Amino acid sequence: MAHPEDPDEKAAAVEPVVRPGSLLVSSTELVEPTFRRTVVYVVEHNESGSLGVVLNRPSGTPVHNVLPQWAPHVARPATLHVGGPVRRDSALCLATLRTGASVDGVRGLRRVDGRVVMVDLDTDPAAVLPIVHSLRVFAGYSGWTTGQLDGELRRDDWIVTSALASDVMSPPHTDLWAQVLRRQPLPLALLATHPIDVTRN
């Protein structure tokens, strides 16, 4: 049995664990425009790679222009969110379930983590709306091949933490990046006050 002060034991304790439902919060050193001050929700993470969507990049395109049947049901702002640089011409939808709702036997829904589910946008909205609380539609996604995300984590490009269902549907004008950091233990919480350098936008 390892001694509590064994350095290998400590290293294992701080190794970030990525899973569906994790958030990847960009570090202050990650200044590449696509991911600067972003919060990525991880939808899939396995031996084949990782897939997620940026939660805090609303676009100027109303959902109604692309998916009018879903537009009345999406969370504000009712615009497409830019999920990432991969396949911007495709749409991915996440939803939060009503408290106590089950996806068992409901076609068109796949649980990601907790109350968060992925919605098949080819489904009739009427089939899923009775158990869905909020919806958000993303254009494109963020993807990593096998080992790629691990390399970025070793470079400290991302801070890994757990998502709240409310993060996925953050309301308009929310600085989600700072909000997520603020609820982390010190010293991570101090990063929430990191200034926004408008010259890098």
Which residues fall within 8 angstroms of residue 56, CB to CB, at 6 or more apart? Answer: 37, 38, 39, 170, 174, 176, 177
Q: How many CB atoms lie within 10 A of CB 20?
A: 20
Q: What is the pLDDT of residue 18?
A: 95
CATH 3.40.1740.10 fits 18-200, yes or no: yes
Provide the terminal-to-terminal Cα distance of the chain, rounded to the nearest Å.
51
Q: What is the pLDDT of residue 90?
A: 93
- CA distances in angstroms from 190 to 101, 108, 182, 187, listed in the order given: 37, 41, 7, 6
pLDDT at residue 13 in the model? 39
pTM score, two decimals? 0.87
In the chain, the amino acid numbered 192 is A
Amino acid identity of residue 11, one-letter, is A
Per-residue model confidence (pLDDT) at position 189: 78
Closest CA relative to residue 20, chosen from 162, 166, 165: 162
Per residue of the chain (201 residues), give pLDDT as tens.
444 444 433 333 355 689 999 999 999 988 888 899 999 999 999 999 999 999 999 999 999 999 999 999 999 999 999 999 999 999 999 999 999 999 988 999 999 999 999 999 999 999 999 999 999 999 999 999 999 999 999 999 999 999 999 999 999 889 999 999 999 887 877 888 877 653 443
pLDDT of residue 196: 60
